[in-house]
Structure 1
Amino acid sequence: MIRRAARKAKRIIKRILRIGNYQNIDVFRQWIEEVEPTVWNQGVLSYAPLISVVVPVYNVSSQMLRDCIDSVRKQTYENWELILVDDHSSWENVRQVLSEYSDMPKIRVIYREENGNISEATNTGLAQVQGEFIAFMDCDDVLAPQALYEVAYLLNENQELDFIYSDEDKITEECQATREGTFAIPVKDRHTPFFKPDWSPDAFMCLNYTNHLSVYRTEIVKEVGGLRTKYNGSQDYDFVLRFMEHTTNRRVGHVDKILYHWRERKESVAYDPNSKPYALEVAKKLKEEMITRRGLHADVEYVDGEYQYRLVYHNDTNEKVSIIIPSKDNFDILKHCLATIAEFTDYPNYEVIIVDNGSAQDVQDKINDYIAGKNIHYIYEKQTFNFSHMCNIGAEHASGKYFLFLNDDIGILHQGWLDRLTGHAAQEHVGAVGAKLLYPDSTDIQHDGVLNLTCGPSHAFSHMDDAQSYYFARNRVEYDWLAVTGACLMVDRAKFYEVGGFDEEFPVAYNDIDLCFKLAEAGYYNVCRNDVILYHYESVSRGLDNQDDEKMLRLAMERSKLYKNHPAFEGYDPFYNRNLGGYNISFSIQMQGAGDHEPLQTESSMEDFVIDFDTESINFMARINSVEYLNSLVRVVGWFYTGSLRVDSKRELYLVLRGESGRCYRVEVERFVSDEARRTYDSRYGNVGFEILVDKDKLEESDQKYQIGVMISGDKRQDWFVQWTERWILR
């Protein structure tokens, strides 16, 4: 019975954590109707550059072409020109539609005498532009009415930007824009939003994620020389790679709003990546040429199932890598780590440094016996545990050009791992390089990059199955992240000391996040290599922070210090996207705050309560998304699922706080429909989200911790169900 229940609970947890594998269409439609209208900027712009929209046209339906052209004509921004280049279309309707617009102000129509394909047609248009900036657009796609205004708005904030891209979504092939009143795309025809990160050069090396809408400084476009016919199919990708060789990472801007609607025609890549199989081979060739052009030491490698090629960098000079492993009283785990390093490391130049902060004498003896005759240095210094100090000591004794900080509970799984990490860490723009970490003997993700959410740093896709591909291949190709875990973190020695190494005022938690924040502030990009996959026997030696109350309190204090040191990153992650919500690791859309509502601003009502009933319940699962400390106030947000037990406005609903002494408080909650629960269980029963805002100073002082539970009334008023969670409020 117990085993069956455990297996069932595991399946339920799997379903909860797997919710981000797709974007629920109903949630996206709700987002379009409720959130999108609130995001647009307004006002008079002091700087209004002319933006030239260049559209190559070839054999497209009249309705699609009119939608494309009218979406430019109906822009809220006025200083634009539209250049339409017909690439000698064989369909008679194309010339007829173009003739309808040829005499309109700000529109120029060019008819080519022969078909030259998309690159030559685009270049014909580029030769005629007069604008300071150029926007590329396909003849069957649609701009949001505010698209060019939002681009100009960003340029008013930073006039040095050379390249601006936006978020996008897709529209159905049969979609037809409405023209009554405001030009718009019907909500029912929009789907598959791509809420992108800010400029991520390592992600772009794997895939052309910027895509639409993209706007470029005309002066540089002419220096680059436009598009190249030999790379038709991936001509935009080739163009941007060459464009970036004429500017810098700091001069790329991102509008985190959907400015472009990509038509999903059956013959287009938007519908099926296999629709243009030649484009994949072209992408490989253009990357190989780019490697030679830039003088990089790298190979191009196909990513199974993603229709993309990654770059695998090599450190051909084989500079030494110092693998620094903090450890204490953990010989068996340490021995396994060292054994897998020896077995799977074919990189020719590395050393291992073990930093021990106080192992017992018998453990010291075992370590010394094991490392005898090996290229392993053992540093013993008895001291209070301070991970940052131990790593800094290891760095002081290291002779390598690159530092790899590695937990002693890591297991290496494949050859080439160290070469791939070192090659990437050798890139000039790169700060910290991390690896994908899985839970032992499974495909469950433990770490694949760190998100800086509203509730604090959190591992992306934690506990989700790596057998699946998530959110535009985030767990497949190399994306940039604001932070990676210190359980496996490589960094160039010079860059490590440039930012001051590990801050020893973070003895246990957030020391790796602080280091990554400092690297980001210095202008470097932190990246996770998804092709370096290791096992992480998470916190075997030290224990988990969320299973000990003293550790939880320390965690909260160190989190507060983290944002005090880096205030610009509190609630902000340039490599995430604000439209995805501040409380989830799965890249699923969240409507507002931690759930589907506006966060509470006023304190919740709380009263003493005596629990004198059974706390076990059936078909009742509670989940706490976040416990957020806001000075004396604590915000708790979560949801629960009750199975067949219907929860409506007639039932009473409380959160219960139980102190160490047994004293309890019940707290009124703000309830809302939880889309997260609904997506997980696809049920109309019990999909309830909740939030409270409690003044912890009003809790009994004798109890320093309070366990959080969810309580609902049963079918009879005297019946109650309580589900205790593993989360606590700490005074």
Structure 2
Amino acid sequence: MTEEMPHHRQAVSQGGSATLLLMAVHFDALRLNPARYLRGLWWKLCGKRLRARLTIAPLLGTSPRAYRLWMAQEATTNRIGPRLRSDALPVVALVRSGPGEEATLASLAAEGIAARLAPARADATLQTLLLQARGTWVLPIYAGDILATGAGDTMRKALAETADTTRIIYADDDLLGKDGQRRDPHFKPDWNAELYRYFDYLAGTALIHLSKADTTAPLADDWPASLARQVAECRGQPVHLREVLYHRHRRPKPQRPGPLQLTPEERRSLPSVSIIVPTRNQVDLLRPCLEGIAATDYPRRKEIIVIDNGSDEPETLRYLAGLDPDFARVVVDNGPFNFAALNNSAVTEASGDLLCFLNNDIEITDPQWLTVMAHQAMRADVGAVGAQLLYPDGRIQHAGVVLGIGGGAAHAHRLLKPDEAGYFRRHALPQFVSAVTAACMVMRKSSFLAVGGFDAENFAVSFNDVDLCLRLNARGWQSLYEPRAQLVHHESVSRGFDRDPAGAKRQAGELAALRNRWSVHEPSPDDDWRSCQADPFHHPALSPFSEQFELRV
């Protein structure tokens, strides 16, 4: 392996060996949450390996020494092959002048990348530099940022493999403190155009192929970010290198969006919606759910279809019988509980252009939720739209679904408080995701029918929403998480959890079906993380045992 950067060597040496660091990280986890850590050990002693890892791994990732351990483990892996010719597919770096530019220029030279010092703000000099680089690959980089050892060869290899298919290539990064220590790694998703609208994760970490249009378009003063945005939005899908190639002194911050503001014309153009609510007994849940729908501010017709799946409690039956048919239509289906089949059947009676699948244990606290979700669902590139769902105590229950967590699929950022920073505030930003939960899901009826609806045979109760979203994604209708639609979810109150043998057997079969159809496998701590990514919007360096985007150690 090539020699590490001095600050990288220092970080590893100060932390000691990977074994000692691993012991320290476990000690940190024990101190952080003794009860949970010991519960994980108990599961391990009981032979419940997956359950033990799902309990302990999230604690390990929160240790302040987790990234040092990750670097130490990486340092023991020989990943760098023979050096490439330094003149192969040359890259010219444009260094935005400022404090630390000497270190930046030195790191570029060490990686065999030619560099030009560029002005701090866009001006005629910058325009000349861009014109000179037209038709080539450039690396706009900020003064003070430096490249990781081996970054030059990684870039040249990526260019050799992808230069004909993309015009922008970006990589992961971390921060370099004044003490020379690396911290706060950003393991980025593969290209996520919706997330990029609110979080610039390209600026200063992207190779760009300059066309004539790129060299003449006006740029903002922060020209590395401006140039990357203009190319990313106009020149095809960027390619992601899942490597930490940049050590930065600072990075752009996520920008949480304000409330969605629609023009009167946009509101008038929203389509009709059929809201489908399966239920069984539990009138104390159903009543506030329907009252919340009634109070929802939506400019077009809302058709409500309540599917009564075998209610037998007198109070619930009286309530259903007393519903005004002009407000909600009750459809009785007394067959065995099959969430997918119940909803598929209701869709055949739905007249709305949009479908909203809504659990009866959803409490509606924002009258604008449906307007926000419907507006997003009408986009040509969007399939299913999911909301931010909270537990009654205010913590996040759903912020999108990540494929592969625990060997199946899991809710992103679960148990995080909405005002916490989390993982680069991802839970607070609209973004494309692999799937969203059908506890509150909006989509075009035409798209639902085009993919055949829910798979009631293989996913009667679990993962039917994940499978549906993945089939929509495959047709080019990407799932979207919209945190500006926020509701409360009393999860599994009405049906309970699958702890009985029959329920556990059914869920195991549905998990096996998900794994077989979508190439998901149970993760192992011994896996090479680079070959383990199941979800393009997650990252293989993040733990496959944690819903909160913790580091994989």
TM-score range normalised by the length of the shorter chain: 0.7 to 0.9
Mapped to 1, the partners of 2:401 and 2:56 lie a distance apart of 16
> Out of 148, 154, 165, which is 1:144 matched to?
148
2:165 is equivalent to residue 160 of structure 1: yes
SS of 2:348's partner is: helix
| Corresponding position of 1:210 | 202
Aligned partners of 1:324 and 1:403 also within 8 Å: yes
Distance in 1 of aligned mates of 2:390 and 2:56: 15
Residue 38 of structure 1 aligns to a residue in which SS? coil
Aligned equivalents of 1:51, 1:261: Cα separation in 2:
18
Matched positions, count: 488
Matching residue within 456, 469, 473 for 1:504: 456
Shift in Å, 1:446: 1.3
Structure 1 residue 474: deviation in Å? 1.5
Q: Does 1:73 align with 2:26?
A: no
Structure 1 residues 419-476: Cα deviation after superposition (integer angstroms, max 9, x where no partner): 1111111222222111111112x21221112222243211223223334221100121
1:616-631 pair list within 5 angstroms: none
Report the 3-state secondary structure (helix = DSSP H, G, I; strand = E; otherwise coil) of the residue aligned with 2:311: coil
Give the superposition deviation at 1:552: 2.1
Equivalent pair of 2:388/2:398 in contact (CA under 8 Å): yes
Corresponding residue to 1:232 among 203, 217, 221: 221
- Following superposition, the deviation at residue 371 of structure 1 comes to 2.3
Provide the secondary structure at the position in 2 that maps to 1:475.
helix
| Secondary structure in structure 2 of the residue aligned to 1:127 | helix
Residues 54 and 82, structure 1, Cα contact 8 Å, conserved in 2 = yes
Q: Distance in 1 between matches of 2:198 and 2:310?
A: 44
Cα distance 1:228–1:405, how it changes in 2: closer, same or farther (>3 A)? same
What's the secondary structure of 1:579's corresponding residue?
Answer: coil
* Alignment check: 8 A CA contact 2:57 2:543 kept: no
Q: Bigger shift: 568-577 or 361-370?
A: 361-370
Q: Greater CA deviation, 449-458 or 133-142?
A: 449-458
> Match of 1:350, as an amino acid?
K
Indicate whether 1:450 and 2:450 are aligned: no
With over 3 angstroms needed to count, the CA separation of the structure-2 counterparts of 1:311 and 1:167, relative to structure 1, is farther
Distance 1:501 1:360 in 2: 29
Cα deviation code 1:253-283 (max 9, x no counterpart): 111111111124xxxx67xx6xxxxxxxxxx
- The match for 1:197 is 189
The share of aligned pairs that are identical, in percent, is 27
Cα distance in structure 1, aligned partners of 2:56 and 2:373: 28
* Aligned mate of 2:336, from 379, 384, 391: 384
C-alpha distance 137-240 of structure 1, shift in aligned 2 (>3 A): closer
Structure 2 gaps of 5+ residues are 1-31, 39-54, 523-531
Change (3 A) 1:130 1:393: same
Are residues 568 and 218 of structure 1, via their aligned partners in 2, closer, same or farther at CA, if it must alter by over 3 Å?
Answer: farther
- 1:415 aligns with 367
Q: Which moved more, 1:507-516 or 1:429-438?
A: 429-438
The 1:14/1:479 distance shift into structure 2, 3 A limit, reads farther
1:54 aligns with 2:91: no
1:531 to 1:130, Cα distance in 2 relative to 1, 3 A: closer
Q: Secondary structure at the match of 2:420?
A: coil
Given residue 437 of structure 1, which amino acid in structure 2 is its aligned partner? L
User: 1:323 is matched with which residue: 269, 275, 282?
Assistant: 275
Question: Which whole-Å CA distance do the structure 2 matches of 1:401 and 1:416 have between them?
Answer: 19
Q: TM-score, normalised by structure 1?
A: 0.61
User: The residue matched to 2:384 in structure 1 has which SS?
Assistant: strand
Match of 2:551 in 1: 589
- Cα–Cα, structure 1 residues 212 and 503, in superposed 2: closer, same or farther, change >3 Å? farther
Q: 1:199-226 CA distances to partner (integer Å, 9 max, x unpaired)? A: 111111112123341112222xx32446
- SS in structure 2 at match of 1:405: strand
CA RMSD, 1 decimal: 3.2
Superposed displacement of residue 563, structure 1: 1.8
Please say which structure displays the higher CA radius of gyration: 1
Q: What aligned pairs does 1:32-51 form with structure 2 within 5 A after superposition?
A: 32-35=71-74, 38=77, 40=79, 42=81, 48-51=88-91
Which residue of the partner structure matches residue 312 of structure 1? 260
Task: Indicate if the aligned counterparts of 1:435 and 1:448 stay in contact, CA closer than 8 A.
Answer: yes
Confirm or deny: 8 A CA contact 2:256 2:428 kept in the other structure.
no
Q: 1:587 to 1:48 in 2, by over 3 A?
A: same
The structure-2 alpha-carbon separation of the partners of 1:455 and 1:563, relative to structure 1 and needing over 3 Å to count, comes to: closer
What is the CA–CA distance in structure 1 between the aligned matches of 2:200 and 2:216, rounded to whole Å?
Answer: 17
Aligned to 1:357: 309
Letter in 2 for 1:387: F
Report the residue type matching 2:114 in the other structure. E
In the TM superposition, residue 329 of structure 1 has moved relative to its aligned partner by 2.6
User: Which of these residues, 565, 575, 585, is aligned with residue 517 of structure 2?
Assistant: 565
Q: In 2, distance between residues paired with 1:425 and 1:119? A: 41
Which of 356, 375, 394 is matched with 2:346 structurally?
394
Describe the superposition over 1:533-590 as per-residue Cα deviations: whole angstroms up to 9, x where unpaired: 1111111221112x33332222121111012111278851111111112111121212
Match of 2:424 in 1: 472
Q: 2:231 aligns with which of 232, 237, 243?
A: 243
What TM-score do you get using the length of structure 2 for normalisation? 0.80
- Show CA shifts across 1:315-335 (max 9, x none): 530211111111223333212
Q: CA deviation at 1:41?
A: 5.1
Hey, what's the Cα distance between the residues in 2 that align with 1:549 and 1:121? Answer: 72
Secondary structure (helix, strand or coil) at the match of 2:249 reads strand
Deviations 1:12-59 (A, max 9, x none): 56998996798544211121121256384535879953322222324x
Is the CA contact (8 Å cut-off) linking 2:134 and 2:215 kept in structure 1? no
Counterpart residue type for residue 161 of structure 1:
T
CA distance in 2, matches of 1:429, 1:307: 23
The secondary structure found in structure 2 opposite 1:352 is: strand
- CA-to-aligned-CA distance 1:688-724 (integer Å, 9 cap, x gap): xxxxxxxxxxxxxxxxxxxxxxxxxxxxxxxxxxxxx
1:255 aligns with 2:208: no
Q: Name the one with the larger helix percent.
A: 2
Equivalent residue, structure 2, for 1:109: none
Query: 1:487 Cα deviation (Å)?
Result: 0.5
Q: Deviations over 1:233-259 (max 9, x none)?
A: 4x44444443244234xx321111111
For 2:26, the equivalent position in structure 1 comes to none
Q: Which protein has the bigger strand share?
A: 1
Tell me the equivalent position of 1:29: 68
User: Do the aligned residues in 2 keep the contact of 1:40 with 1:150 (CA within 8 Å)?
Assistant: no
Contact 2:408-2:515 within 8 A present in 1 as well: no
Partner-residue secondary structure (3-state), 1:256: strand
Match of 1:128 in 2: 132
**Structure-1 residue corresponding to 2:473:** 520
Aligned residue for 1:427, secondary structure, equals coil
Please tell me whether the aligned partners of residues 482 and 573 of structure 1 are also in contact (alpha carbons under 8 angstroms).
yes
Which of 408, 411, 419 in structure 2 is aligned with 1:459?
A: 411
**Residues 468 and 518 from structure 1, CA distance in 2 versus in 1: closer, same or farther, beyond 3 angstroms?**
same
The residue identity in structure 1 corresponding to 2:430 is E
What displacement does 1:399 show? Answer: 1.6
CA distance in 2, matches of 1:14, 1:418: 40
Unaligned runs of 5+ in 1: 1-8, 88-115, 176-188, 274-305, 592-731
Residue aligned with 1:329, SS: coil
Structure 1 residues 556 and 22 mapped into 2: Cα distance closer, same or farther (>3 Å)?
closer
Deviation at 1:137, TM superposition (A): 0.8
How far does the alpha carbon of each residue in 1:665-692 deviate from its partner, in whole angstroms, 9 at most, with x for none?
Answer: xxxxxxxxxxxxxxxxxxxxxxxxxxxx
CA offsets 1:575-613 (integer angstroms, 9 cap, x no match): 11111121111212121xxxxxxxxxxxxxxxxxxxxxx
| 1:367 positional shift | 4.5
Is contact 2:277-2:307 (8 Å) kept?
Answer: yes
How many angstroms apart in 1 are the aligned matches of 2:389 and 2:440? 9
Aligned mates of 2:188, 2:411 — CA distance in 1: 18
